[in-house]
């Protein structure tokens, strides 16, 4: 199985975290998001352990909560001693409502509104990652108005694009995020942040992409950022902290083999140490921001099969009771997934199907021409590795209710997000 929390029991049913998925579907209905708490906690611990091992404990993993956001996940992250990356007033509000420590929150975003920045300052959010000059000026003004000093990071575009399986080093990256190095904008921003009253420029941040399998782009990004830090140091601008972002790839398809996280940490830490020595820099305090790799492999989505439609010579559509409203990633990115007939998980996967959702939209597909165990109406399908960017990217298109999220721990399940009702859908209608 692609995730360690998945198995097949003696009944031939798929299990997650020791719970039988067929029983979960019967108890909570479908569609149903299921997450395994042990897998989530293990991922956090492995990131923390490798920071201890390779940076002598001088660092902190921040959970990128856009991957999966609800109160319970912030409680778990707080218990695991993680920091958190939030990107909106809504994520910030949720984190605080769950009692997540404000000082361990990094607030990101390329266009934080003044209301969002005010909320962050009022609630003593630890760090604001500034994206642009306008924001630096706004922050300085708000700091004066509110009698606050603000810990600021600058988001830098290091000129490395790792969005595909092959990374490229470009002179000038076209991105809405952050300050460009090549044009001198990043340097100008550092000077501005250093000089503006109320701001304390403590760190630099970069994020080179998501679902990345190679280690080299991360190393190159670290090197570029440290060289920039050394340049600033010569100007008298001391930067003590470095956030290297997230983006570590996970296994969606059986043929994918991502690097273990500690291999990534070891190699990047080697680059950090070597570059610091060459540039005569003190090793900065290191942050990383994994999202997908913490929750992605820990989640699955369960559906009930409705119609099975064979179009001879064309393809077989298996229609499920969810679709792009709970998982828009195939429609958006042609994302790969493994699909299993959960109640026949012990059988061979020799039925080639296209899994279709129930929206009025031909592109509402979860996977095309994929091999699953034979299935018929009433069977339970499981789509694997849906823990990241599924629930958080869900919608109410066609007025379809969002499914509940159930957390499993050692075979026991509990609802952590209730499913929406039709009344919920009309709650704000006048």
Residue ranges in contact with ligand LLP by CB under 6 A: 64, 67, 85, 108, 207, 210-211, 245-248, 289-293, 329, 389
- Supply 97's token pair: 């409502």
Shortest gap between Cβ of 120 and ligand LLP (angstroms)? 16
Which of 5, 69, 219, 360 is flagged as catalytic? 360
Shortest gap between Cβ of 405 and ligand LLP (angstroms)? 17
C-alpha distances out from residue 65 to 168, 257, 280, Å: 27, 24, 35
Closest CA to 317 of 358, 349, 360: 358
Counting beta carbons within 10 angstroms of the beta carbon of residue 10, is it exposed (0 to 12), middle (13 to 18) or buried (19 or more)? Answer: exposed
Return the number of the residue (48 or 349) whose C-beta is nearest ligand LLP.
48
Question: Is 360 an annotated catalytic residue?
Answer: yes
Shortest gap between Cβ of 197 and ligand LLP (angstroms)? 27
The residues with which 33 forms a beta bridge, in sequence order, are 301, 405
Shortest gap between Cβ of 292 and ligand LLP (angstroms)? 3
Residue 113's φ and ψ, nearest 5 degrees, are -80, 165
Cα–Cα distance between 52 and 60 in angstroms, integer?
9
Cα–Cα distance between 292 and 282 in angstroms, integer?
31
Return the number of the residue (28 or 47) whose C-beta is nearest ligand LLP.
47
Return the number of the residue (112 or 329) whose C-beta is nearest ligand LLP.
329
Cα–Cα distance between 242 and 226 in angstroms, integer?
8
Shortest gap between Cβ of 138 and ligand LLP (angstroms)? 20
Task: Give the DSSP letter of residue 259.
Answer: P
Cα–Cα distance between 102 and 333 in angstroms, integer?
34
Cα–Cα distance between 311 and 118 in angstroms, integer?
57
Whether 66 and 291 have beta carbons less than 8 Å apart is answered as: yes
* Angle (CA) 197 201 202, round 5°: 145
* Angle (CA) 338 340 344, round 5°: 160
Cα–Cα distance between 205 and 25 in angstroms, integer?
42
Shortest gap between Cβ of 85 and ligand LLP (angstroms)? 5
Return the number of the residue (30 or 211) whose C-beta is nearest ligand LLP.
211
The residues with which 157 forms a beta bridge, in sequence order, are 180
Return the number of the residue (245 or 284) whose C-beta is nearest ligand LLP.
245
Shortest gap between Cβ of 108 and ligand LLP (angstroms)? 5
C-alpha distances out from residue 152 to 71, 142, 178, Å: 26, 13, 13
139 cis-preceded (ω within 30 degrees of 0): no
Return the number of the residue (22 or 60) whose C-beta is nearest ligand LLP.
60
Return the number of the residue (80 or 85) whose C-beta is nearest ligand LLP.
85
- Supply 77's token pair: 């992250």
Return the number of the residue (14 or 129) whose C-beta is nearest ligand LLP.
129
Do strands 160-161 and 241-243 pair parallel, antiparallel, or not at all (unpaired)?
unpaired
Shortest gap between Cβ of 264 and ligand LLP (angstroms)? 11
- Supply 297's token pair: 């492999």
What amino acid positions are annotated as catalytic residues? Answer: 360
């Amino acid at each position: 199985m692609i995730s360690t929390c998945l198995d097949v029991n003696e009944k031939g049913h798929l299990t997650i975290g020791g719970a039988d998925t067929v029983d979960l579907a019967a108890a909570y209905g479908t569609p149903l998001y299921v997450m395994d708490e042990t897998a989530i906690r293990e991922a956090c611990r492995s990131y923390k352990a490798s920071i201890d091992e390779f940076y002598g404990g001088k660092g902190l993993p921040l959970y990128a909560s856009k991957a999966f956001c609800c109160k319970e996940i912030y409680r778990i992250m707080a218990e695991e001693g993680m920091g958190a990356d939030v990107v909106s007033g809504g994520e910030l509000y949720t984190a605080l409502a769950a009692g997540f420590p404000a000082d361990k929150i990094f607030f990101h975003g390329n266009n934080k509104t003044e209301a969002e920045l005010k909320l962050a300052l009022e609630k003593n959010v630890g760090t604001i990652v500034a994206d642009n000059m306008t924001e630096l000026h706004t922050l300085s003004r708000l700091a004066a108005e509110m009698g606050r000093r603000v810990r600021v990071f600058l988001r830098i575009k290091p000129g490395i694009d790792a969005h595909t399986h092959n990374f490229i080093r470009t002179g000038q990256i076209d991105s809405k995020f952050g300050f460009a190095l090549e044009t001198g904008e990043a340097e100008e921003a550092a000077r501005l942040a250093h000089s503006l009253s109320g701001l304390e420029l403590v760190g630099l941040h970069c994020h080179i992409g998501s679902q990345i399998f190679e280690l080299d782009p991360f190393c190159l990004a670290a090197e570029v950022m440290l060289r920039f830090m050394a340049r600033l140091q010569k100007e008298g601008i001391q930067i003590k902290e470095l956030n290297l972002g997230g983006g570590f790839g996970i296994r969606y398809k059986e043929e994918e083999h991502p690097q273990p996280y500690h291999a990534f940490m070891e190699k990047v830490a080697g680059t950090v140490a070597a570059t610091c020595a060459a540039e005569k820099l003190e090793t900065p305090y290191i942050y990383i921001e994994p999202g997908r790799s913490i929750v992605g492999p820990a989640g699955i989505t369960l559906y009930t099969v409705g119609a099975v439609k064979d179009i001879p010579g064309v393809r077989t559509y298996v229609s499920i009771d969810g679709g792009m409203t709970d998982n828009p990633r195939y429609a958006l990115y042609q994302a790969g997934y493994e699909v299993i007939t959960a109640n026949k998980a012990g059988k061979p996967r020799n039925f080639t199907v296209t899994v279709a959702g129930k929206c009025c939209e031909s592109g509402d597909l979860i996977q095309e021409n994929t091999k699953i165990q034979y299935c018929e109406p009433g069977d339970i399908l499981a789509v694997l590795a849906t823990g990241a960017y599924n629930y958080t990217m869900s919608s109410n298109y066609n007025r379809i209710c969002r499914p509940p999220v159930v957390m499993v721990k050692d075979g026991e399940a509990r609802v952590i997000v209730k499913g929406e009702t039709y009344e919920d859908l009309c709650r704000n209608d006048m």
